[in-house]
Amino acid sequence: MTTISSAGVGSGLNIESIVTALMSVEKQPLTNLEKRQTSYESKISALGTLKAALSSLQTAAKALTPASTQTATAAFSGFKATLADSTIATATTSSAAVAGTYSVEVGALATNQRLALGKTYDAGAAVLDFGSDSSRTLTLTKGSTAVDITLDSSQNTLAGVRNAINNASAGVSATIVTDTSGKQNLLLTATDGGTANAVSISGTATFIDPANPGSPIAASSAFNQTQAATDASVKIQGISIATSGNKITDAIDGVTLDLTKTGTTNLTVTRDNTDLKGKLETFVNAYNSLNSSIKSLGAYNSATKTAAALNGDSTLRSVQSQVRTALTSVPADLASNPLKTLSDIGISFQPDGSLKLDSTKFEKAASTNFSATANVIGAFGNTLKTTTTDLLATNGVIASRSDGLSSSVKALDRQMEAMENRLTIIEKNYRARFTSLDTTMTSMSTTSSYLNQQLTLLSNMATNN
């Protein structure tokens, strides 16, 4: 707003002080609006903090919710496989594994098929005969899968053919070897061992015979097999099993073996709850973080008589109530389950409202009845996922409250702008009035001085006479 620092100079009237005092009163409604706006903005920020904490709990709850096609037992089952002699094989497990001990006897490892061109060539020499064609096809077939590799004149060297084969992902890898005389050959090796992974070669490609260039060699007869593919020989619990390569996937439920050498060993499969326990700890931590945020956002300091941004806010109370209800009410899915509450599996409320996971109680519940334990986790996980998703929805209580506050902030912006314009006019009027008064008072002061001078002059004249 415009100020006139010289106002009141003529009369001695302190116009600046008067206008400032009057405007401080006029501005009080604007100050109140600014305070309300600051309060609303603080609440919006606090709701953002609440939303973030609730979102973390939602993520943790989703990790404890089985897929619609899974049972809780299948979703949360974890197993660990250990081989007495880890040099014979490595083992991985899935949720379909069954705890137990199995004897494993590897009589022979699967071998990879190997092929070599029947002819050798000088480095960089042309190796393909295209005839009158601009390109030819080399076809590699594994089982019922055929991959056609198109070769043109830019690939007419062993290096070009090698690169084309390796780029095709056709089940073989190609490499060039150079003999003592500098001649080069192309070797092919099946990427996986076993008869099922052997490849056959065909196609329209023909290879030049350096000794008889006029009689090119068809792709189907250009390569010689230097090592045949063979299957592994394996017995599980004394029973011979069918193999395809050195990866055994269907001999033991839920266990995959990667064979590395021959020999006999024992495989032990045990339940492993490490991953599930980690998910539960993440869930507990997420809830405790939310609980802490709710306390902080709704706090009141009686000593300083200061309230937090969401003290007494119905949205905060609603979130707290709904989450607490989801954690304490027994889901309908658990009506016939031997275990029914989170406390039954070691998760319980503490005096301060936080959650705590009792690892010993959890392990006991899981080892005694894993399916019942998994059902509790899955049911409460699903309930919390639904509750948090509803609270965080675009039409949920947090979004609705935030939208309402945002609308209020915008409305206050408009009111404040109008009020500031009004205050500018009021201040202008005040200054005009007091400036006019200043002028009048200055004029009256001048007249008074003149009259005093005249009276003094007349008095002096009378005295002299």
pLDDT, tens digit, for every residue of 430-458? Answer: 777 777 776 676 666 666 666 667 667 76
The single-letter DSSP state of residue 111 is B
Q: Which whole number is the average pLDDT over 389-405?
A: 89
Q: Which whole number is the average pLDDT over 198-207?
A: 96
**What are the tokens at 48?**
């953002």
Rounded Cα gap, residues 357 and 166, in angstroms? 53
Q: Which residue has the higher pLDDT, 405 or 132?
A: 132
Instruction: Decide: 147 and 168 in contact? Cβ < 8 Å.
Output: yes
- The whole-model pTM stands at 0.68
The helix or strand, by DSSP H or E, that contains position 180, with its residue range, turns out to be none
Residue 447 has a pLDDT of 64
- Long-range contacts, 128-135 (Cβ 8 Å, 24+): 128/155, 128/156, 128/161, 128/205, 128/206, 128/207, 128/208, 129/206, 129/207, 129/208, 129/213, 129/216, 130/156, 131/206, 131/216, 133/204
pLDDT tens, position by position, 176-200: 999 999 999 999 999 999 999 999 9
Mean of per-residue pLDDT scores for the chain = 89
Residue 20 has a pLDDT of 78
**Among candidate residues 55, 38, 31, the one with its CA nearest the CA of residue 405:** 38
Q: Strand, coil or helix: what is 267?
A: strand
Q: Residue 284: which residues within 8 A CB-CB, separation 6 or more?
A: 347, 355, 356, 357
Rounded Cα gap, residues 209 and 216, in angstroms? 6
Model confidence at 312, pLDDT cuts 50, 70, 90, reads confident
Q: Strand, coil or helix: what is 82?
A: strand
Neighbour order of strands in the sheet with 79-83: 79-83, 263-271, 100-108, 233-236, 239-241
Q: Which whole number is the average pLDDT over 272-281?
A: 95
pLDDT at residue 343 tops 70: yes
Residue 428 has a pLDDT of 82
C-alpha to C-alpha distances, 266 to 15, 33, 231, nearest whole angstrom: 101, 78, 22
CATH entry, 1-76+273-337+378-465, from 2.60.120, 3.30.43, 1.20.1330, 1.20.1540:
1.20.1330
Q: Which residue has the higher pLDDT, 227 or 23?
A: 227
Q: Which amino acid makes up residue 309?
A: A
Q: Which whole number is the average pLDDT over 203-220?
A: 95
Which CATH topology does 114-227 take? Immunoglobulin-like (2.60.40)
Q: Which whole number is the average pLDDT over 126-134?
A: 94
Residues forming CATH 2.60.40 domain(s) in the chain: 114-227
Model confidence at 26, pLDDT cuts 50, 70, 90, reads confident
Residue 4 has a pLDDT of 41
pLDDT at residue 98 tops 60: yes
DSSP states of 336-367? T-S--SGGGGTEEE-TTS-EEE-HHHHHHHHH
pLDDT at residue 5 tops 70: no
Neighbour order of strands in the sheet with 89-93: 89-93, 255-259, 247-252
Q: Residue 264 pairs with which residues in a beta bridge?
A: 105
Q: Which amino acid makes up residue 319?
A: V
pLDDT at residue 464 tops 70: no
Residues forming CATH 1.20.1330 domain(s) in the chain: 1-76+273-337+378-465
pLDDT at residue 158 tops 70: yes
DSSP strand E in 19-88: where?
A: 79-83
Phi and psi at 172, nearest 5°, equal: -135, 155
pLDDT at residue 426 tops 60: yes
Instruction: Decide: 203 and 139 in contact? Cβ < 8 Å.
Output: yes
pLDDT at residue 285 tops 90: yes
CA dihedral 414, 417, 420, 422 (to 10 degrees): -70
Residue 38 has a pLDDT of 75
pLDDT tens, position by position, 33-75: 777 777 778 888 888 899 999 999 999 999 999 998 989 999 9
Q: Which whole number is the average pLDDT over 260-281?
A: 95
C-alpha to C-alpha distances, 207 to 7, 142, 151, 225, nearest whole angstrom: 107, 22, 12, 17
